[in-house]
Structure 1
Amino acid sequence: MRRNVDNPWIAGPAVALLAWAIFLFRVTVPAQLVFDEVHYVRAARVLLTLSGPENIEHPLLGKELIAAGMLIFGDTPLGWRFFSTVAGAATIGGVFALTRLLTQRTPPALLAATLALLGFTVYVQARIAMLDTFMLAFLIAGIALIAASARSGSMASWAIGAAMLGCATACKWSAAPYVAAAAVAFLAMRRGRTDRWPGMRALPAIATLGAVSVGVYFLTFTPAFLYTNDALTPARLLAFQWEMYQRQTLVLPPHTYQAAWYTWPLMLRPIWYLYEPVDGVQRGILMIGNPAVMWGGLIAVAACLYRWIRTGSARLLAPAMLWALALGMFAVIPKSLGFYYYYYPAGVFLSVALAVAIDHWRAALGEWVEVYLLVAFALALYFLPVLSAEPLAHAGAFSRWTWFARWV
């Protein structure tokens, strides 16, 4: 039994399948569109008819996946959200794989996957038809494959990782900086070191990264060439990217749940995706992170950076830099409004940082790790009613979970 737990080829798929089962349970509740589902499900409906462009400010892949679920299960809550549950499970599996690559040990990989599952945000996003859910699943797969190629020197792993990054960008443009980050990491880590990406030459590797990621991105626009009205043409493909950019950078009116990027790590303004009577009962869905994971993860990032300065260990630097990139890019992205759910990738990377830090200091932490996990699990049970749209006692029940005035 112990051997099976330590075997990453058994433990990784097992934890992803367990997560998938959790995400699927009652995924059809509520049986109405929630939050931004109103935009993306509507766009998926249009895609199924190929009648014309819809929601053109974002690329197509995420909406294509929502449409695929609706094609299989119908225009129903299960159809809207089925592939979100798959993406959520893939995200948990990706967290496991990335942490296993960084630490070369299965227990910290299981810990990272567990913390990601207990961190609330993957659970909430895996049960709603939004583009961020698909973007992160592809993104973390791409990062894990790129990291695997650093050890093996496998050009196939590098190329498939590039394809995953292209798919992530084809869901949301906020994944695009990771393509550049992969190139920078390759060049920086190869300099003076022959044990990273052995046998891979710089020019072919960078060319492959760019060609594959960009090529896959553009391939996802294929359905747009088949529209009945205003079909895309090869001549318009690049110009259409400019149209998307113009729409994404529009100055929008203030929003109740807007929040500046530097407030996200402290969860100063989470989002109620839903809070209204549904099916005759009050229900709520709060997009928030587990305080033990989100706030504890900030300590882990600081600890990893401190220890990296002392030792130069790349495995300690990597999760901290992934978190910093996922957050810091929003300081320069020209969007007029920000929302807490933009922190979704960064929040998941905190699970990796926590597991890497705990593994590094495991001897000193001892039984405190179990205490910490119990706290995270207890908070998950406490918040579960407003993560899963369970029936609430009355319209004012939100006060039980809103610790601060800005959480309302």
Structure 2
Amino acid sequence: MQRRRSVNTASEPQPRRSAARTAIVAAAIFVVAQVVLLLGVTTPDKLYFDEVHYVPAARQMLLPVIEEPILNPMHPPLAKEIIALSIRAFGDGPLGWRYPATLFGALALVGVYFCGLALFASQGRALAAVLLAFFNQMLFVQSRIAMLDIFALAFSLFAIAAFIHGFRQQRPQLAFALAGLAAGLSAACKWSGLFVLATCIVIVAAVRLMQGWRTRFADGNSEDWYQPDLWPDFRLHHFIACFVLIPAVVYLATFVPLYGFSLPDLLEAQRRIFADNTTSAIAGHTYMSSWPSWPFLVRPVWYLFDKLADGRIAAIVFLGNPLILWPVLIALVVALRDWIVTRNRDAFLVLAFYLGPYLAWALLPRVLGFIYYYLPAATTASFVLVYALTRKPAPRWLLWAFVAVGCAGFVVMLPITAAFIETSMATFNRLMLFQSWI
């Protein structure tokens, strides 16, 4: 009896130690990422690419009285409100414009870490997912420019982490409510944040539909993505609260600083956003591309290309790391096979949160698209890679070898990824493997 009490006493602090370790690792990821992302962030010292739209809109929010017309009304206000707070704190200059992007880029990597833990229950695999998300180049570039996408991505990743955690629980109400909260904040930055919320809704609806049909697999097991007894106490009112009411309330609350509590003004703001996001009457753009081409990295977007006095160049391209993002296409086939053949739950979840934010673009009538719309799917692709590289009988070193290769590709691309690392036309020409990249 004494020995049994000793064992139980020794095991009791384990959850607390695990939570403490998770918090320490998350804090370390945030601090390291914040430092790295801040390096050279004030170069260039002028507005570039779509900063010319969002920074003036943020400046307008700092005026004592905001007069019509509201600048940049085609996007929700939360990310611009955060940029405005940064301008007030750090001044109307490059650091004030871009610091929030670095902050939310670091938070996005923390979100990747939490997603990895929820998916794989492994510190090693979660950290590998963080490194792959960072080395894929897209998150790095988007975390150093005053645009809206990195804000929406960070909130979306926290929504995914909460949802996956709840998906594995018998009582998911709290986790799903947190997912709805984070998804609402994501949509309040950019409407593409709704894609993650829609993915969560589709997953829950599919499970409930199959339960309503009393579906059972003849050889069912605990690793199946669908369980007939999943969430026994999760009711319709819980669903509405978590995935409709909470997201709607937090989303609309972000409009109050601009429009007050005027219902007509709030509705008109939504109408303008809807009209912009669904219109097909938009002129072409030099760097536009369509959604089927994004996983193949066919057409990048050049955010900056400045020729300097000494013949060197300062360049920033949003392309993605081919050494990471091309192999994703193979990993997707592996995960799809496992979901279909073995009904693997992890395969199902990594596929859902890659395909949901990506294929949603196929449903929009909008013809003007850019590869940076692929950022959320490219980030969650790190989970697909970790899944494929760690499934049995893959050797344990394979994942980390792949991370090392991805790191090498990231370093090679730095001269055209960070403007403060000036480069030559010769290096630029060597890195441009295809004519469509120019």
The correspondence for 2:372, drawn from 327, 332, 341, is: 341
Change over 3 Å in CA distance of 1:164–1:393 after alignment to 2: closer
1:39 pairs with 2:53: yes
Pair 1:164–1:123, CA change in 2 (3 A): same
Partner of 1:171 in structure 2? 189
Q: For 2:253 and 2:309, how far apart are their aligned partners in 1?
A: 41
Indicate if the aligned counterparts of 1:187 and 1:202 stay in contact, CA closer than 8 A.
no
If the length of structure 2 is used for normalisation, what is the TM-score? 0.86
Helix, strand or coil: the match of 2:85?
helix
Distance in 2 between residues matched to 1:203 and 1:177, nearest whole Å: 22
Contact in 1 for aligned 2:414/2:421 (Cα 8 Å): no
1:4-403 equivalence runs, <5 A = 7-49=21-63, 50-52=66-68, 53-152=70-169, 153-190=171-208, 191-192=210-211, 193=227, 196-197=230-231, 199-225=233-259, 233-248=262-277, 249=279, 251-277=281-307, 282-361=313-392, 363-395=393-425, 397-403=427-433
Aligned-partner Cα distance in 2 for 1:278–1:90:
34
Structure 1 contact 19–89 (Cα < 8 Å) conserved = yes
The 8 Å contact of residues 91 and 136 in structure 1, kept in 2 or not, is answered as yes
Per-residue deviation, residues 180-201 of structure 1 (Å, max 9, x unmatched): 3212212333554366445322
Structure 2 stretches lacking a partner, 5+ long: 1-16, 212-226
Counterpart residue type for residue 399 of structure 2: V
> Is contact 1:28–1:77 with CA below 8 Å preserved after alignment?
yes
Q: State the distance in 1 between where 2:240 and 2:134 align.
A: 34
Contact 1:6 1:106 (8 Å CA) reproduced: no
CA change 1:316–1:142 in 2 (3 A) is same
**What do the CA deviations read for 1:114-154 (whole angstroms, capped 9, x no partner)?**
10111101110110111111011111111111222223424
* Identity rate, percent: 34
The whole-number CA distance in structure 1 between the counterparts of 2:305 and 2:141 is: 14
Q: Say whether 1:406 aligns with 2:436.
A: yes
Which whole-Å CA distance do the structure 2 matches of 1:313 and 1:91 have between them?
Answer: 26
The answer to whether the 8 A contact 1:298-1:350 is kept is no
Give the Cα separation in 1 of the matches to 2:309 and 2:176. 48
Matches of 1:270 and 1:141, distance apart in 2: 27
Rounded Cα–Cα distance in structure 2 between residues aligned with 1:196 and 1:125: 38
| Aligned mates of 2:107, 2:113 — CA distance in 1 | 10
Report which of the two structures shows the higher radius of gyration computed on alpha carbons: 2
Deviation (angstroms), 1:314: 1.5
Task: Tell me the number of residue pairs that the alignment of Structure 1 and Structure 2 aligns.
Answer: 400
Preserved contact between residue 390 and residue 399 of structure 2 (Cα < 8 Å): no
Q: Distance in 2 between matches of 1:197 and 1:312?
A: 19
TM-score (norm 1): 0.92
User: Take 2:251 and 2:19, find their aligned partners in 1: how far apart are those partners?
Assistant: 37
1:255 partner amino acid = H
Note closer, same or farther for the CA distance 1:21–1:4 as it changes in structure 2 (3 Å cut).
Answer: farther
Aligned partners of 1:58, 1:369: CA distance in 2, in Å? 39
Preserved CA contact (<8 Å) 1:293 1:350: no
Q: Is the 8 A contact 2:313 2:425 kept in 1?
A: yes
Is there any run of 5+ residues in structure 1 with no aligned partner, and where?
227-231
Cα–Cα, structure 1 residues 240 and 76, in superposed 2: closer, same or farther, change >3 Å? Answer: same
The residue identity in structure 2 corresponding to 1:238 is: L
Q: Deviations over 1:87-121 (max 9, x none)?
A: 11111111111121111111110110010111101
Cα-Cα RMSD? 2.2
Aligned-partner SS, 2:288: coil
Contact 2:86 2:96 in 1 (8 A): yes
Q: What amino acid is aligned across from residue 290 of structure 1 in structure 2?
A: N
Q: Distance in 1 between matches of 2:81 and 2:307?
A: 30
The alpha carbon displacement at 1:32 in A equals: 1.1
Partners of 2:391 and 2:373 lie apart in 1 by: 29
For the Cα contact (< 8 Å) 2:386–2:399, is it kept in 1? no
Rounded to whole Å, the distance in 2 between the matches of 1:160 and 1:367 is 35
Tell me if the contact between 1:94 and 1:137 (Cα under 8 Å) persists in the aligned partners. yes
How far apart are the structure 1 equivalents of 2:275 and 2:405? 45
Q: Residue 305 of structure 2 aligns to a residue in which SS?
A: strand
Q: Deviations over 1:350-380 (max 9, x none)?
A: 111111222223x423433333222111111
Partners of 1:115 and 1:203 lie apart in 2 by 38
Conserved? CA contact 2:259–2:266, under 8 Å: no
Bigger Cα displacement from structure 2, 110-119 vs 196-205: 196-205
Distance 1:107 1:198 in 2: 33
For residues 336 and 36 of structure 1, the distance between their equivalents in structure 2, rounded to whole angstroms, comes to: 18
- What residue identity is the alignment partner of 2:181? A
Instruction: Tell me how far 1:254 sits from its aligned partner.
Output: 1.4
| Shift of residue 204, structure 1, vs aligned partner | 2.1
| Per-residue deviation, 1:206 | 2.7
Distance 1:393 1:104, change over 3 A: closer
